[in-house]
Amino acid sequence: MKNTGTALPISGSQAEIAEFSDLRSIIVNDIEQRWNGGGTLIDDACRHAMLPVGKLFRPTLLLVSALAVGGNAESVVAAAVATETGHTASLVHDDIIDADEMRRGRPSVQGKYGINTAIVAGDLLIFSLFDMLASCATAGIPAGRVVDAVSAVARAGVDLCRGQSMEAELTSRRLMQVEPYVEMVRLKTAALFRAACEAGAILGGGERQAIDSLISYANHLGVAFQIQDDLLAYVSDKERMGKGASTDIHKGRPVLPVILAYQQADPPTRRRIERCLSGQIGPDEALREMTAICASTHALELAAQKAEKHAKAALGALDVLEPSPARQHLAGYVAMTLNRDR
């Protein structure tokens, strides 16, 4: 779903962002070298998880955050790849929890290699994350900054675990309230966005005010990103999603459009929503019915407005930073988040 109510800035002119054009290839090349497959089962499983790459939001955010505070991108490439490694590890474990056999349009790690290997692969990726962060000290980053970055990423990892647990609790209780949902998203989804931006700013030598502004930016960006992700189940097809769009309904998760629909609905419609989430009907049928309910209650528009509110807050947080192509590039990620269709 694309938000058209407010014109959000996109990335700057081609001249302004030319220096960022090769960031993705730098990250991809590093990932390919690190996970080139060692011929063992666990090496193959990790490579399958890491490649081909996804959107690379988080590692690029780390590099651009470092640039935005005056740092050097080349010295923090390992840290950038570390954020993608940690994100991938969380996806591997998520797929185990959700019993998902597909990821990005192909078999998940557990779908291809089995649950036991997937668990170990996810653990290996997590430990590799910290090894990569520590290696920034050999790239000329002062040891104190490296320690602070490791601490920031570790705190984000703790939040992610708490958010995962909170999601399970909200699902089991079928809690149809917005604020607990937003707090869960801040912990589960925004945590790795925050880790990327905070670590990038720290490793780039940013002052405290700049670091805090990027933390705020990342928190709001992460919430907007997840809300848009929730919306995609109702406005995008399965092929573009790369994973069953009906997964959340099948698992009975009260995502934001469902919560807002429930709050706007009359008692009979609320009972229909509860039936969709109960597993009493097939997931595809439940998705179709839930989509119709969300449309009739205007829940999709309300959710999009909520995403836009957090997007505007993310943009506002960037005002603390000095104007630069890097800051404009960060603003561009806000627009990309709202306008993505997968």
pLDDT of residue 341: 74
Q: How far apart are CA 294 and CA 56, in angstroms?
A: 31
With respect to residue 89, please indicate whether it lies within any of the assigned structural domains: yes
**What is the domain-level CATH number for residue 66?**
1.10.600.10
With respect to residue 6, please indicate whether it lies within any of the assigned structural domains: no
User: Is pLDDT at 244 greater than 70 in this prediction?
Assistant: no
User: Is pLDDT at 256 greater than 70 in this prediction?
Assistant: yes
With respect to residue 29, please indicate whether it lies within any of the assigned structural domains: yes
Let me know: does 84 contact 2? Beta carbons within 8 Å: no
Domain count, the chain: 1
With respect to residue 314, please indicate whether it lies within any of the assigned structural domains: yes
Give backbone dihedrals phi and psi of 106, rounded to 5 degrees, phi first. Answer: -145, 170
By the 10 Å C-beta count (0-12 exposed, 13-18 middle, 19+ buried), 98 is classed as: middle
With respect to residue 13, please indicate whether it lies within any of the assigned structural domains: no
Mean pLDDT in residue range 217-234: 95
Per-residue confidence band for 237, with pLDDT thresholds at 50, 70 and 90: low
Residue range(s) defining the domain that contains residue 130: 18-339
Taking alpha carbons only, the member of 192, 171, 225, 170 closest to residue 90 is 192
Mean pLDDT in residue range 62-82: 96
Beta-bridge partners for 107: 102
With respect to residue 7, please indicate whether it lies within any of the assigned structural domains: no
Name the percent of the chain in helix, strand, coil, to the closest 5. Answer: 75, 0, 25
Lowest mean pLDDT among 151-155, 160-164, 248-252, 304-308: 248-252
Mean pLDDT in residue range 78-82: 97
pTM for this predicted structure: 0.90
User: Is pLDDT at 19 greater than 60 in this prediction?
Assistant: no
DSSP letter for 297, please: T
Beta-bridge partners for 106: 103
pLDDT of residue 14: 36
User: Is pLDDT at 236 greater than 70 in this prediction?
Assistant: yes
CB contact set of 288 (below 8 Å; sequence gap of 6+): none
Let me know: does 181 contact 168? Beta carbons within 8 Å: no
Beta strands per DSSP E along the chain:
102-103, 106-107
Mean pLDDT in residue range 251-261: 93
Let me know: does 297 contact 261? Beta carbons within 8 Å: yes
With respect to residue 108, please indicate whether it lies within any of the assigned structural domains: yes
DSSP letter for 322, please: P
With respect to residue 229, please indicate whether it lies within any of the assigned structural domains: yes
pLDDT of residue 239: 52
Mean pLDDT in residue range 193-216: 98
